[in-house]
Each structure stands twice: as structure tokens, then as C-alpha cells.
Structure 1
Amino acid sequence: MLAQQPFLLHSPDGRPRPPAVPTPASLAWVRARTGGRVLSAEPLAAGAVHHNVAITVDGNPPRRVVLRWSADQRPQDDAPREAILREAAVLSLLERAGLCAPRLIATDPGGAQCGVPTLLMTYLEGRQPDADTARSPEFAAQLGAAAHDIHRVDSTGAAADAIAPFRLYNDLVNPRPPRHSGRPALWERAFSAVSAGAPAAPAVFVHRDYHAGNTLWSGSTLTGLVDWNTASLGPAGFDLSHMRWNLAVSVGGDAADRFAAHYDRLAGREPAHHPYWDVVAVVDLLPEDGLGPAVLERLEPFLDAALARL
């Protein structure tokens, strides 16, 4: 959502995570990989499983790179290593496709140099969108065009295991409505709709966490797409719907509809997405993560409208 500034990070036990500080070994690795002396380090917004720090290295002129490492430091868990390798493969794929995404510089997947699985990539100029950006007439259209570009990426050149298959986070084994919801029947309808099964859809390259907070802007122009660690092969509709609910909550339902309409025009079919994925994207937020009354006030009408279109 657009209001998430800065992002609140928590460790797996729910306690606030301290600011990211790269180790001397990591900074030495950055210097070795870039050939420049480290001048400064600035923590950036991060996700639930990674730290991100912008590093300024000496040069003519100085330049910025991004050091990204796993927040999960359990040595017996191979998942962080696999995640870094997959993200590196995705960034290489995006470079070949010409998307406005960070470029891969180096990886330390086993943590031999940095102590934890680590990735080094280029820094993209721009900032997350604010309310002024969202008011631009072209805001939703540019998000739709970027989604269309993402879904046209040809992943056939990637290794077979380089891009993860799409999966939902909520398996609906024990579904429960958000504790702050006053409309439990609405959520029960949503659970039933999701359990009924997905419409047929081809698997394409998807961002998997496509929302405005993972885009960068200069004024009213979209300049970059970030946070590719969950990129998958799956239904384009999920990307669209994940963006749609975010826009409905943070900007308004009209912005969500304009975004989808612009994507549909570019895709050359009407409509390109199915309301089933709107329902899935909302249900996939559970078990709830920050679904307080203010969010539910806009999210539940979006969910109700999607169910009405099924």
C-alpha cells in the first residue's frame, strides 16, 4: 500500500527487527566485486525475509549498489541459499528481457564470503509512489503497462529449476475470517469460492508480489520494478488482482479498475483477468497480516464486488 513508509519489519517471533547493518566481511566483498572503496551504507525498505542496504562505492563518479541478504540465518536451512540463487536467475532473465529491474552484479549463495546468503545488484533511482504520484492520470495506466511487460517475459531460457512454480500462501486448511471483520459470512463465501477451483489459465512469468510499493517513480513516471524474490511461473490474473486489491485499499476502487482496463487493452482481449483471482489474492492475505478495521473498510467491499462477478 502507498501508506507503508517505512515498512515495518518483524522477526519470525514477532519482535521488531533491528536496522540492517552489513558486516565488515560483507563490505569487503562489495569492495572486491565493485572495485570501489565503500563510502557509505544506507538501510532500505525490505521484505519479511531479506535485508536491503544501499552501498555507495568510490569511483568517477561514485555509484550506488544494493546489498541484499537473507534475514534467516539458520545454518541448517537451505532455503535462503536457494532463494538467492533463484533471485539471481530472475534478475539475469529480466536483464535479457530489458525490463526496468535491478541488474545482477554478484552472488554469495552459500555465505562463504559474507556469512549469510547474499546478493549484490545495481541501485535503481526513484522513490516509492506517494499520494501525488497516485493522482497522476497515467499512474494506473503505467502500472498496467508494466504488468503487461512482466507477463511477456520469455522464461524458456532459464534453467528448469531457476524460477519457482506459483503457489498460494494460504492453503485453506483451517480458514478463519480476520478477527477485526464484522462480516464473517463474506469471508466464508470467499473461502468456498477459492476451494471451488481456479479457471483455466496459462502459466506465465509473474512477479507474485506486484503492488505499487514495489515500483519506483520519478515524478509521475514509473522508473523501476523491484523485489523479485518471489517471481514465479503462474497465472497472470494473480499479479493483476494483487495489485488491484492494493490499489482499492490505498487509492480507491476506480484506480484498481483503470489499472485492469489498461492491461486488458494491451493484452488485446476483454477482460484479460477473472474475478476469481481478486478473491484469491484477498484470501491469500490470511492468516491476517495488518488487516485492521481501516484496511477492511475498503478491502471487504472489493472482495464483495469480486464475489458478485463470479
Structure 2
Amino acid sequence: MSDPNEQVLRWAERTLGGGARVVAWEALKLQDTQKTWLLRVEQGHASTSLVLKTSPLGWDAGVAVEKAVLPLLEELGVPAPRLLGVDLTGHAGVLAVLSTVVPGSSGRPANAPLQRLRGLGAAAARLHAIPLHPRSDLPHRDRPVAYDPYVAERREGKAPTSSLLDEADHVVSNVVVPPADTVLVHGDYHLANTMWSDDTFVGYIDWDTAGVGQPGIDLGWARFDAALFYSQQAADEILRGWMEETGYEPAGVAYWDAIAALQSPADLGELSPQRDAFLLSALQRLERC
């Protein structure tokens, strides 16, 4: 499906009220578990752009998280989308979240933008300055993209694996999680889930895997993403930015790097060698701890 259905568009109009009309839309992301559109909405003589996300029935966990976290972010003044409406009933055949647009651009530049990567680390550190305890609508997280079942499926023999992934799983399962205070975590933190104006950070987007956990959850995932698409040096620039912002080194960098790499399928195609190199480095650093 490349277009939002008519019922969810009408829901968006009713949610906005004031005679709002959705006059155009553009697909931003079309995934199995979530579809995202940029809507153009007219109200009287005014026109604005909004973001509509839909998820299939039964995929309510991420929608419920955004319902909880976006108002919290607004209260705290965090640069992120502002929640306009949530439909957890599925009357339109899908679950839906309607929010404002964070200006700027996302995505990964073709070449490693070192200044932007340092900025990504610094922005993560500012987010991690928000202490938080788990609650029913913002649960504890022990890994990034917590909904992805790759580790469990490999353990149960339901998904392909490799000797390196099995070794890494064994190692981290026998490591005491480095202690750290729990904070607000994004849960899927990387360049493509942030907005930029040139190399200036603008805001955080896509909060459906947010929760409460250690900073390493976001830091490890951002580093893993940078190592996949750029290099280990790019990953280290993220850590550098985090440390410049905080003035100290985060707990358990090697552990959280390994956890991040384990949250990927065995076959990453042409990116598999980069994943394995990143994971091997994490294991070697863990052995020296």
C-alpha cells in the first residue's frame, strides 16, 4: 500500500478540527510495521505540513510509547515532534499517530560527516541528561530496537546464526551489565532518526522504541550504525562528541557495542563484514576489561 487509507485521513482531519483538509501526502517510510507520510493540510487560508504514522492492528506497543513519550518531550523542551493525536482503537483499520514536523533533513550523507557524528554524540548526551525510572508506558530497555527478535530467534534455532554471533551472545550473557543510572533512551538512535541543518543538530524523530535504560543503549546503536555505513573512526567520533558534552566516558562502551551488533540479523549482505569487525573489536575490548 503506497497511500494512507481514506479512513485514517478523515481521522487526521477530525483530530485537527477547524475545517482541516488533507490535500496532499508524500510517503517518507513504508515498512511492514510502520508507514510514515508527510501530509499537507489546509485550514482556512493556512497550509501546514504534518507527519502521519500508521501501524497494523496488533502493533500497538510502539504507538503507545509515542503517546507517552512525545508529551514528556514537549514538557521538557526537547526538540522533537509534538503530539497532535493518537488512535489506538484501530477504527480506521490501522493504528495512527499524528504529529508536527521537525524541520531539517535526515539520512546518512555519502561520506562520513565527522562534525555531524560528533554532534550526534553530543545530542545523545543531552538526551541522557534526563534521569528517568521505568513506568508502564515507558518500559525498561536492555537493548536498542527492543522489538527486534534476532537474538531470541537465533537462540531458539528459528533464525540463521554464525559462530561469531554465538560466541558474542555467550560472552555478553556472562558479563555483569556495567552499572549506570537509568535515563530516557531513544531506543533507535542513529543519524537517520535525527534532523539536521547542514551539520547543526535540530531534533530527534521516530520515538516508537523509546524507554528507560542506560545511555549505552543509544550510544552503542549509533556507533554500530556509523561503523556499518562509514568506519570504526566514524563510530569513535560519536563517542568523542558524547564525552565532550559530558566531560566523562560512558560506562560499558564495549559491552553496549556488542549488544548493538547482536541486534542485527546474521546476514547483512554486503554490510556483514563491517558488522563482524565491529563486533570482534567489542569482544576484544571486553576481554581486556
Give the alignment's TM-score, normalised by structure 1: 0.80
Residue 63 of structure 2 aligns with an amino acid whose one-letter code is: I
CA distance in 2: counterparts of 1:27 and 1:176, whole angstroms: 38
CA distance in 2: counterparts of 1:189 and 1:102, whole angstroms: 40
Residue 206 of structure 1 aligns with an amino acid whose one-letter code is: V
Mean CA deviation greater in 245-254 or 200-209: 200-209
- For residues 149-188 of structure 1, the aligned pairs below 5 Å read 149-155=126-132, 160-168=135-143, 169=149, 170-171=151-152, 173-174=155-156, 184-188=162-166
Change (3 A) 1:175 1:253: farther
Q: Give yes or no for contact 2:27–2:37 (8 Å, CA) kept in 1.
A: yes
Matched, 1:307 2:283: yes
What's 1:147 paired with?
A: 124
The 3-state SS of whatever aligns with 1:166 is coil
- For residues 42-61 of structure 1, the aligned pairs below 5 Å read 42-59=26-43, 60-61=45-46
- For residues 110-259 of structure 1, the aligned pairs below 5 Å read 110-112=89-91, 114-131=92-109, 135-155=112-132, 160-168=135-143, 169=149, 170-171=151-152, 173-174=155-156, 184-197=162-175, 198-259=177-238
What's 1:99 paired with?
A: 78
Q: Give yes or no for contact 2:108–2:192 (8 Å, CA) kept in 1.
A: no
Residue 220 of structure 1 aligns with an amino acid whose one-letter code is: D
How big is the shift at 1:32? Answer: 2.1
Change (3 A) 1:161 1:226: same
Residue 118 of structure 1 aligns with an amino acid whose one-letter code is: A
Aligned-residue sequence identity (percent) comes to 31
1:157-205 deviations in whole A, cap 9, x for unaligned? x9x31202214442363479966xxxx5433431221111322233221
Change (3 A) 1:200 1:281: same
Structure 2 stretches of 5 or more lacking a match?
Answer: 144-148
What's 1:25 paired with?
A: 7
1:136-157 deviations in whole A, cap 9, x for unaligned? 442112101111122123446x
What's 1:62 paired with?
A: 47
CA distance in 1: counterparts of 2:247 and 2:27, whole angstroms: 41
What's 1:298 paired with?
A: 274
Q: Give yes or no for contact 1:125–1:223 (8 Å, CA) kept in 2.
A: yes
CA distance in 1: counterparts of 2:31 and 2:122, whole angstroms: 24
Structure 1 stretches of 5 or more lacking a match?
Answer: 1-17
Matched, 1:40 2:24: yes
CA RMSD of aligned residues (A): 2.4
How big is the shift at 1:95? Answer: 1.0
Change (3 A) 1:23 1:47: closer
Q: Give yes or no for contact 2:53–2:98 (8 Å, CA) kept in 1.
A: yes
